[in-house]
Amino acid sequence: RKMVCEWGMSDAMGPLTFGKKEEQIFLGREIAQHQDYSEDTALKIDQEVKRFVTDNYQRAHRLLSESKETLIKIADALLAREVLDAEQVKRLAAGLPLDEPQSVAARVIAAEEDELRPRTKERTPIVPALNKPLPQE
């Protein structure tokens, strides 16, 4: 309804705003909406809202039906692993197999090895600290 009445996103109704809202702050922030359009316009708004909902429901249903096989693969992988990262979801969506899940011990060892790897040389800051003098060139 906001897409049609407030944001003007309907081709049939055009880029117009329908209905004026008033907030009564001192009465518990009740929002009242005034109908400043005819019953015919109200009917057109309702038809347009119904069209938006129906069209997008059909679109969502079609997309899910077309992707059903991929969605089932993702669901099966989630049941087996409980967690998938973005790369794993992309691999499944592309029809590629997932690598075997690492055991907890293997993940801990990999994390420790990563921590022990030498880091790159620390960079000198571009802006010196406030309590240190500027280096002389």
**19/54: higher pLDDT:** 54
Examine the domain organization and report whether 14 and 59 are in the same domain: yes
Give dist(CA 87, CA 20) in Å, integer: 47
Examine the domain organization and report whether 52 and 101 are in the same domain: no
Residue 128 domain-assigned?
no
Please identify which residue in the block is written with the tokens 């790159």.
120
Phi, psi of 34 (to 5 degrees): -90, 135
Residue 28 domain-assigned?
yes
Q: Which of 41-50, 59-68, 103-112, 119-128 has the lowest mean pLDDT?
A: 119-128
Residue 129 domain-assigned?
no
pLDDT of residue 69: 92
Residue 14 domain-assigned?
yes
pLDDT at 46 over 90: no
Average pLDDT, whole number, for the chain?
78
Examine the domain organization and report whether 49 and 76 are in the same domain: no
34 pLDDT tier (thresholds 50, 70, 90): low
Examine the domain organization and report whether 44 and 14 are in the same domain: yes
**What value does the mean pLDDT take over residues 89-101?**
84
pLDDT at 8 over 90: no
Domain, as residue range, for 47: 1-66
Give dist(CA 112, CA 109) in Å, integer: 5
Examine the domain organization and report whether 56 and 75 are in the same domain: no
Count structural domains, the chain: 2
pTM of structure = 0.51
